[in-house]
Structures are given as C-alpha cells and as structure tokens.
Structure 1
Amino acid sequence: MEHWTALSLTLIWFLALCDGAPTTASPEDHQIAEAYLSQFYRDKNATFSGRILPNLEKELKAMQDFFGLEVTGKLDSNTLETMKLPRCGVTDVARYGHFQGKPKWKQSVVTYRITEYTSQLSKREVDTTITKAFQLYSDVIALDFKQIYNGTADIMILFKAEYHGDFYPFDGPNGVLAHANAPGPEQGGDTHFDDDERWTLRSRDINLLLVAAHEFGHALGLEHSKDPLALMYPTYRYVNTNGYTLPRDDRIGVQALYGKLFDAATSFRRQLYFFKNGYYWKKGFYSGLSMHEIKSTWPTIDSVDAAYEFRDRDISFLFKGQQYWAVKGNTTLLGYPKPIYKFGFPKYVRKIDAAVYVKSTKRTLFFVGTKYWSFNERTVQMDRDFPKTIRRNFPGIGSRVDAAFENYGYLYFSEGSRQSEYNFTSRRVNRFLLNNGWLDCY
C-alpha cells in the first residue's frame, strides 16, 4: 500500500482545491489543513491505494458544514482560522450525537483516578476541579462519581505531554488540548490532558474545568455537538465558570443515555411539578410542559429536596435541607420556613429525600436514605415504630427513593433514572418506567 506524504498531499491541495484560482494559503497552511482533516474528518477504516486519493474536498466540506462555515470545499481564511483554534482531540465524523452503538456505563457509581498531575496547579485544585466537572453531569443524570487513589478505576486520568502511552501523542501548546475514550472496558473512558498547555482556573490560558467537563462528556458517551453554545462543541472557548451548569444541548444528550434525574416531584392542583436545581417543570393534562425558575414563583425558595401536596387543605409543602415551607398556589404562607423537626424527625435527619401523601390512609410518607417515616395528617404526629426500611416494606422499588408523587391512584417512586409505578393497596410494583417519560419534551 502506498502512503501519502505531506508533500504529495500539499500538491494535491493546490491542484484539487485551488482549482487554478489565486490563493493566500501557503504550502504550510495546506499541510496544517491536511493534517487537521486527517485527524478529525477522515474515516480511519478507509484505505488509500496508489490509484485512490483521500477525498480532501469532501472532508473539507464536511468540516465547513460542521462548524457552520460557508461550504465551498476551498481553504479560505475563515476555515483555516477555525482549524488553528485549540480543541479536543476526538474526531468530529461520528454518525451519531452519541458514539456509534451508544456505549454507556451500566453501573450507578463510576470511579475515577488521577495517576499523574500537572505541576501548574496544586493537587487540591486539580482534585476539586475534576470533582466539579463530574458534578455537572451527576446534577442532571442518575450517575455518581467516586475518586479512588489506588488500583484501576473506570476512568483513568493523567496529565502528560507529547507521547503518553497511547497512539495519539499530544502536539505541544494549543492545538489538541486533551482527549478521552468512549465508555467501555479496559481503556474505556480514560482521559488525558496535554501538560504542555497552560492550565488555569481562570479566563486566561486554558481553563481546566471547561476542558475536563468536555472530555468527561466523551467518557460518558457523548460525541461532538454542532451547537456553538454546547460544552461538546469541539473547539475551546472560555465562558464564565461561576455557577456554570451543563448547557441545554449537552444536558439533553447525556440524559438521552442515562435518563433524567429530578430532586423532587409532587402533584399540585391536578398538575405535576418536577423540581431540579433552581427550576421546576409543570406538566398539565391539557397544557403540556413548561419550565419556570423556582424563585420566580416562590421568592424565598431557591431549590427543593422534597415536596408533597395535602389536597384536603389545598396546601403543598416544599422541603430544603432542615427547613420546609407551606405554599398555596403561588403564595408562601406566613410563618415559614419552619424546621423539619416540627414533624417529629430526630435531630440526625438533615434533609428529606422524598415525600408523598397517600389519600387512602391519610398518611404522608417521608423517605430518608434507606428508611421511611409515616406521618398521620389527622393527629399531626409521626406514627409509632418508625422509621422502617424501604426495601422490606415496599418490595420491588429498591432501597432508596429520590422523588415520589401520586398520579391517578398510583404512587411513583424514582431511584436514579428508574421509576416504579406502585399499587399501594396491593403493595406491588405495577411496572417500571424511566423518568424521561414525564419530561420527554426537554
């Protein structure tokens, strides 16, 4: 098989792409472009004999289309400028928004280990930043990430320059900043950062949080996005990281793999409310789905851990940490917040995971860790002999409950991305669902 040299491909560029027209691109620019297309836009399974040339014009058009440039197949200045931007080292030519075959982690806890650190930041700064990058995903999907310090983790992380043990050596400052593998066994998910870059936690040079979060998207199964506002856009662009959350395009992509995760859910005046971070989604039978900021409706509440509706009094209760509020429609009642211990919880309970009112028994069930309490709404007291274990008394739903609500006579218990539709009278699971079903428009 004949291999094409940089010189021969440069000549091909002048002949095939310039098409006889004047060009300001130098032979060096053409070599840069060919190397770029070879790395990011060429089918790695393709072979080129002495009679078949790489389709450089087609590759260039694909690149221009991906970045929203004018699709000419010519090496113009905008195209060349885009090629010279710092970027991720993962290819842009996958056929899906996810890696082909949609690989993902099957377990609920994914481990990671940093084997080699950069000297440009302290170990503590690196550890904290990597944790924050993973948290961007654990905030919106049913995966937890755990750092380990010995042995082999699911995701192995290192900082190293040039050749670093795989077949994709780094290229010095700028250029390729980092790369990561898709989920899978052995090297699946492994993530490498070029230690020739100037890693910082600020806007200057290369911000580690943004690059790490991008690469961990690959490690979770996301491919590159064509949306310039997405974290998974291939080229590096600094955005303010204070209060940074996963952009919508990336959130939709990762939730399509792992399912949606909400903090709390409740029925509320015959509509369903789903709470996540500082927002809630309202789903009506006829009105569809709408999203709102929690503080825009209840100004003193910025997030919700658990919620339930006591329909007999047209009141809903919203819980955060060790406090709770009573609300009626968009109005927060006077005298709130109050401490959760008014319900009779012991002092070691620091937050409520989920709550749901069961009309047939006039009881509200509170879920905390692997246990639950039963609160009698008639006597306004906790029932005796509680807490009890969830797994033993609600067979089939799992050991924990992240969110719970009632709808058309069934109780719905969420643990991670999975949800159990539960018949409380027979104490049996009717069927299993995904949380996605309730918020399928987002």
Structure 2
Amino acid sequence: MIVKLFFVLLYFSLCNVQCLPIDQINQKINNIHINQETLEFMQKFGYLDQSGPKSLISTEAIMDALKLVQKFGGLKETGNLNNETLKLMKSKRCGVSDVDQSKSQMRKKRFSISSSGWNKRSLSYYISHITPKLKVEGVKEEVQRAFQKWGKYSYLRFSEISTNDADIIISFGNNNHGDQYPFDGPGNVLAHAFFPEMGLLGGDIHFDESEDWTLDVNNNENNGVNFYSVAIHEMGHSLGLGHSSEPDSIMNPYYKGPRLQEIGYDDMLGMHSLYVTRTLTNEVKTTMPPSKVPKNPHVHWSTFSDENCTDDDVVTPESITTPKPNSPTKDGISDCKGNFNALSCLRGQIFLFKDDLLWRLNEPGKVLPRYPVKMLKFFNTLSNNIENDIKIDAAYERPDSNIVMFSGTKYFVFNGNHLIENSPRLIIDYKFPRFVTKVDAAMVYGNPSLTYLFSGEYYWIYDDQTKSLLQKHRYIKEQFRGVKTPIDDILTWNGAIYFFNGNQYWDYDWVQNKTKSGYPKNASEFLFGSNCRDNFRYH
C-alpha cells in the first residue's frame, strides 16, 4: 500500500512539472514572465495551438514553441524568452502563420508547401488600390518583375487586367480592411496573402497602408519598407508556399530590409513540386522546357523540418536541372565490395561517400537517379577550400541543422549553402586526446540528441549544444557488443542503428546492448539492392 501511494504521489508530482498554470510558467523558464502578448504571438503564428484553455499549456509546449520561434528568426534555440527573442517578436514580418498546427510536423520536405496550388497555368492579377506613398507605375513595374521571378521556375504566366474578377487581387489597406485579419499599424505585420484555395480571397495579397513604403532599394531597414522585397515574399504564399526558417530564403517570415531578392533553391523546389511535376486541370501533358537554375547552384535546404530520416517523398535538386549526357562508366568500381568511407543521414536522405564519389538514397536499396556523382561536384563549395583528393571519413547533422564533415585531422561545417565557422577547422576542437588523428564514424542519437564519435577502438559522447565532451574515451566493445572494430560507418534510420565494417553490417539493439541475431549481413546489397553492380556507375 505504501509503495502504491508513493507511485501515485510521484505521478502527480510529475504532472505538476509538465502542466503548470500560466501564472507559474515563468518559474520554469529562467524566471522570465511569459506575458499575454507573447502567448498571443505564438498562437497567432501557429507555434501554439489556439484551441483549449491557455491555463493548460504545458511548460514543455512553451519551451518547444520558443525554440521554433527562435529557429525561424535565426536565433540560438534556447527555449528561453530572452531579449533577442522579445525583439524578434516585435520586428517587421509577414502576417501569415509560420506553422500549421493542423498538419503533422513529423514529416516535412526541405521546402514548405501549405497549399495544393493553382490548377491552371495562366493567372491574372488586378491592382485595386495603391497607397499614395508610392508611384502607380513604380508599383506596377515591381509587381510585374516579382511575378516574372516566380514564373521562371513554375512555368506560370501572369497578366495584369483592369477588373476585379482577376485570380489575384493586390491592394493596400488599413486596420480592419475586410478580411477578418486586421493590420496592426506601423511595424510588425507588413502584409499578408491567402493561399490559392482559400475561397473568395484565395491568392489575394494585402499590404498594410500605414507602413512607410518605398520603392528605393538603397534605403536601409530603418528608412522605410521596400515594397518589392515584401511583394515577392507574399507572392510565394499566393502561389502556395508556406514560410521557411532558412534565413536567406525569400519565404522566411521576417523582413530583412531591401536586398537583391533571388528565388532560392528551396523556393525552386517548391515551385517544381507544385507546378512542374503534376499535370494541371484541363492541361495537355507536354514536355516542359528545362528550368533555368543559377550557375553552379549550391545545395540548399530549408532548416525547418523535424525530419528523422524517414522521408520517402524527396524532390531532388537534379530533378529540375537539364539532364546531362552520361560520361563513360568507371571500370573497377562496380564490384560492390563495400569499404565505404562515410555514411550518414542528412536532411532525411542517406549520403554515402566512397573515395571521390557520392551516392544519395531515399532509403536503403533506393539510390536516386543519376548517382553516384563526384563528391566535389555536389559539395562544390568545398572545392575552393581543399585539395581535390579529399576523402570524407564521417559526417553528421547537428541539432542546429548544420552539417559536419570530417576529413583526417580537419572538419568542415556546412549550412546547406556555404562553409561556416571558419571551416576547415581542426578536430581538436572536439577535445579529443592527442592520439586521435581521424574520426571513423559519427551518429546523433537519444533525446536530447547527443553526438557519438568513433575512432579506432574508442568512442566519445559530445554535446553540440554546449560544445562539451561528456565522457572520456571508452572502448566501443564495452557499450556496443557484437560490433566489429574499427568501425567504418554508422547509419541511424527509422530508429534503427546500423554499424558497418568492410562489406558487412550489423543491426544494433540499443535496449539489449548488443547486435541482433542473424548478423552480419552484406552491406552493399543492403544499401544498393540485389543489383548493386548496376548502381556503381557515375555521371
């Protein structure tokens, strides 16, 4: 009876930790008061569910919401309501929600699609009211220029008409302007738009007339709001795209001031998914002209996703580029002998490195078309910083969505577009003992996520959030029984952990602290399928 009473009390004590009244939440988050204005911001933009009593919002939900707010704002994801986060919430931005609470966040593409898009390829627009702060012809030119940018990658055609029966109606308005989403005066919300299928307002774009609008691209953020920079963003919503947490994306919700606005890679992929890969209503299926993409495009993903390497619906950058003729196949590499240099799950896909080649897989056994490619052809930003014979020893994706790649005594940090943090850097940053000259394998596992680093017969646990080594080196065979060392690669996939050595792999049971029965198995067949010989061709 005493034991039962103990567990009952323990249960309610845990509940009290997880579910506090609003007026006590500040005690759980660095003693900073979460006021009504902050809660309303997080609910307005989708970070917290608007249904249900506010008094039942849990501490965990508040902290998760704050981390997501910080992610969209490009801040360090602490989950604490610090001054930077408060400033962000008051900064200029779009009025469209950042997160759709009605949709599962467990499975996201690199870009965010919030609509099924238009079902026709020719769209009309009508500019019904222009603020007297701007010249009419200037506004019309900027609107046309912005639509042309989107049209390059969607194959949509836009034409201006002079009546209000247009597909997209563009206007300026103050406060309550007839759509149940009133503007808030100068600052904060600058404009909003409606996704294509949203009834009579579908596709429409509204700008807050109370803002200090300008057509001058040379003005900085403090000298007015540049119309074009806001318009090209809102058009993305009008065509069906949601917000992106990628700081440089046109679809990031926050206004960064006037700047050269180019359609980013995420935005291209979104347009490709909405308007290029599908046949629209009453459209005769024809061969589309090749999309125009920037020269030497960088690999680029939106950082907003809670992917756990289970996404099987991936749109790849090469799927929107002009097909290239195949080069002659490379002899002597088509024997599926394994011995891969590095293997990792990055942005929901499997990346496999061997010598100077790279494969990408949607899942084990499913290699993307036209792979492998030269590794430096894909990560072309590396070619300007390193020698051409580089080999990637290990790679992993940090909790902040940046990618770390190890090569010998150096490592590179890649944000999906550029090398950052003064890369390359020395692996001694990880506080390894001096005898460690390379990292053999890496994985991110657990909740909270911790990074496991393997070299020779040893492994370490590293916390990327605090940049600290949590334990000194331990023998791999003490924790990972049944695994053959030294480890070549590790892959975490759908909650499973696979260890690789040579052309063998083991499925590891974390609970039982040992490899599962029936292993090792053939690594090449697992990754490339039974016809792996045909997959070892490069382009």
TM-score (norm 2): 0.44
| CA distances 1:125-169 after superposition (whole Å, capped 9, x unpaired) | 111111111111012221011111113111111101111001110
| Contact 2:71 2:245 survives alignment (8 Å) | no
Task: Tell me what 1:284 maps to.
Answer: 325
Q: 2:230 aligns with which of 201, 206, 211?
A: 211
Please report how far the alpha carbon of residue 33 of structure 1 lies from its aligned counterpart in structure 2 after TM superposition: 1.7
Residue segments in structure 2 that go unaligned for 5+ positions in a row: 1-19, 278-288, 296-320, 329-369, 379-539
What do residues 182-234 of structure 1 show as CA deviations (whole Å, max 9, x unaligned)?
11242111111000111111233111111011000001010001110100001
Task: Select the residue among 137, 140, 143 that pairs with 1:124.
Answer: 137
CA distance in 1, matches of 2:290, 2:237: 28
Equivalent runs, 1:94-243 vs 2, <5 Å = 94=100, 95=105, 97-100=111-114, 102-184=115-197, 185-202=199-216, 203=219, 204-241=223-260
Is 1:35 the counterpart of 2:40? The answer is yes
Contact 1:200–1:208 (CA<8 Å) still a contact in 2?
A: yes
* Residue 39 to residue 20, structure 1, CA distance change in 2 (3 Å): closer
What is the one-letter code of the residue matched to 1:39? Answer: K
Q: Displacement of 1:35 after TM fit?
A: 2.3
Which amino acid is 1:138 matched to? G
2:153 aligned counterpart, secondary structure: coil
One of 55, 66, 71 as aligned partner of 1:60: 66
Change (3 A) 1:53 1:137: same
1:75 aligns with 2:81: yes
**Partner of residue 367, structure 1:** none
Structure 2 counterpart SS, 1:156: strand
Instruction: Give the Cα–Cα distance (whole angstroms) in 2 for the partners of residues 82 and 140 of structure 1.
Output: 31
Paired residues of 1:223 and 1:232 also in contact (CA < 8 A): yes
Counterpart of 1:264 in structure 2 is none
* In structure 1, C-alpha distance between the alignment counterparts of 2:28 and 2:125, rounded to whole Å: 51
1:338-349 matches, within 5 Å, as: none
CA RMSD of aligned residues (A): 3.1
Q: Output the amino acid matched with 1:186.
A: L
TM-score relative to the length of structure 1: 0.53
The residue aligned with 1:399 is none
Question: Structure 1 residue 257: deviation in Å?
Answer: 1.2
Relative contact order, CA 8 A, sep 6+: which one is greater? Answer: 2
1:48 aligned onto 2:52: yes
Q: What are structure 1's unaligned runs of at least 5 residues?
A: 1-10, 261-272, 292-442
For residues 75 and 262 of structure 2, the distance between their equivalents in structure 1, rounded to whole angstroms, comes to 28
Displacement after TM superposition at 1:249 (Å):
2.2
Give SS of 2:201's match. coil
Does the Cα contact within 8 Å between 2:22 and 2:55 map onto a contact in 1? Answer: no
Q: How many residues align?
A: 262
SS at match of 2:56: coil
1:27-50 Cα offsets, whole Å, 9 max, x none, are: 8xx343222112112456x52248
SS of the residue corresponding to residue 111 of structure 1 reads strand
State whether residues 72 and 252 of structure 2, in contact with CA within 8 Å, keep that contact through their aligned partners in structure 1.
no
Q: Secondary structure at the match of 2:180?
A: coil
